[in-house]
Amino acid sequence: MDLEQRLEDLLAKDIGIASPDWLVIARQVPTPWGKRVDLLALDRDGRLIVIELKRNKTEREVVAQVLDYGSWARSLRADDLARMFNEYHKQVHPGQPVPSLNDAFKSTFGVREIPEDLNEEHQLVIVGASFDPATERIVEYLAEEHGVAINAVFFRVFRDGDREYLTRAWLHEPSALEPIGPGITAGGVPSGRIPVPNPKTAWNGEYYVSFGHAQDRRWEDALRYGFISAGGGAWYTNTLEMLEAGDRVWVNIPGGVGYVGVGEVTGPRVRVDQYLVPDATGALVPFLQADKKATDICVEPEKWEYMVPVRWIKTVPIEQAVKETGFFGNQNSVARPRDAKWTFTVERLKQRFGIPN
């Protein structure tokens, strides 16, 4: 089988063979200088993935080409990506209704909101059946010494009678990735993620929290009883385990609302049916039985809501949420961002909330 000639079709049909965290949004995308990018995808954090297949190119040619595509991809805006997805869906599913990129993103990743800022970062991925040692050295040098988010993935096919088996291996092992996002495995590695060197800043010690304010989770309850929470599956709830007593969290309500509070964690996460809060007399009662605004709280197996107790330092009602151009935001329930935008966000929030340090 001529694997490298078939890989683009295989990836377009099921990008999950490369990463379950990707959504293909375009194929054979023309650039202003006449070249075509093989595949474009988004990950669940809104990063753009530029995928280039080796095929009949030399190894060094494909490295140069994917870097060139990266210089173009960084300028793409959310409306560009939405237009590309619209055109791609029409090609792949002619005659069928075209969903919006927002709806496709939420359906693919099982999230309530699409990230506020798409393509704030991008990743370059080279795909092939083999690479020579020189190419591996170049990719490693760019990633390790210069912080370029570039990686290579190898696919091989094995036959057993009339059956074919496809195997995959990344040039950079996922264990090199710092665990700052959801889906953390026992080894501390986010499942399905590729390593992304991030040379921008050291982590500033401040935690980001995304609080999905909806009917099943209300900011008014979080203020009244002192907690942050997440539910709907392990992707959302695993990152709550990152928090320990004494950690400081800055809480953002996604979907364009803004930051509504900062507080100090006072204990570990607790499943909602075991989380106790004071009633009107001061007696402790299970949160599910307490006076609250939230309805339809998730108590399904493997989708439990989990709570983390917080002592609020400063909060504002949703109507006074703080939002500015350039603020950090993503869909992780909890994150330790290593991003200059996060440093800027925290410094501005300290000023807006009147937090001295």
Question: From CA 116, how far away is CA 291, in angstroms rounded?
Answer: 32
Tell me what pLDDT residue 199 has.
44
Digit-coded pLDDT (tens) for 339-351: 788 999 999 999 9
10 three-state secondary structure: helix
Digit-coded pLDDT (tens) for 203-256: 899 999 999 998 899 999 999 999 999 998 888 898 999 999 999 999 999 888
User: Angle at the Cα of 299 (from 261 to 283), degrees rounded to 5?
Assistant: 65
DSSP labels, 185-222: -TTS-BTTPPP----S----SPEEEE---BTTB-HHHH
Q: What is the average pLDDT across 148-162?
A: 86
Question: From CA 299, how far away is CA 305, in angstroms rounded?
Answer: 7
Confidence of residue 118 (pLDDT cuts 50, 70, 90): confident
Tell me what pLDDT residue 136 has.
84
Q: Does the pLDDT at position 8 exceed 90? A: no
Tell me what pLDDT residue 201 has.
63
Residue-level length of the chain: 357
Q: In what order do the strands lie in the sheet with 48-53?
A: 22-30, 36-43, 48-53, 122-128, 150-160, 163-170
Digit-coded pLDDT (tens) for 170-198: 887 543 333 333 333 333 333 333 344 44
Sign of CA dihedral 140, 143, 148, 152: positive
The residues that bridge with 207 in the sheet, in sequence order, are: 249
User: Which residues are within 8 A (CB) of 118 and not within 5 positions of it... i.e. 6 or more apart?
Assistant: 42, 46, 48, 77, 78, 81
The amino acid at residue 17 is I
Query: What's the per-residue H, E or C state across 269-314?
Result: CEEHHHCEEECCCCCEEEHHHCCCCCCCCCCCCCCCCEEEEEEEEE
Burial of 98 (0-12, 13-18, 19+ CB in 10 A): middle
Among 168, 122, 134, 152, residue whose Cα is nearest residue 53: 152
Q: Is the distance from CB of 249 to CB of 209 less than 8 angstroms?
A: yes
Digit-coded pLDDT (tens) for 258-289: 999 999 999 999 999 999 999 989 999 999 99
User: Angle at the Cα of 353 (from 329 to 321), degrees rounded to 5?
Assistant: 50
Cβ-based neighbour number of residue 141 at 10 Å? 12
* CA–centroid distance for 121 within its chain: 11
Tell me what pLDDT residue 177 has.
35
pTM recorded for the entire structure: 0.64
**Which single residue is written with the structure tokens 């990950």?**
43
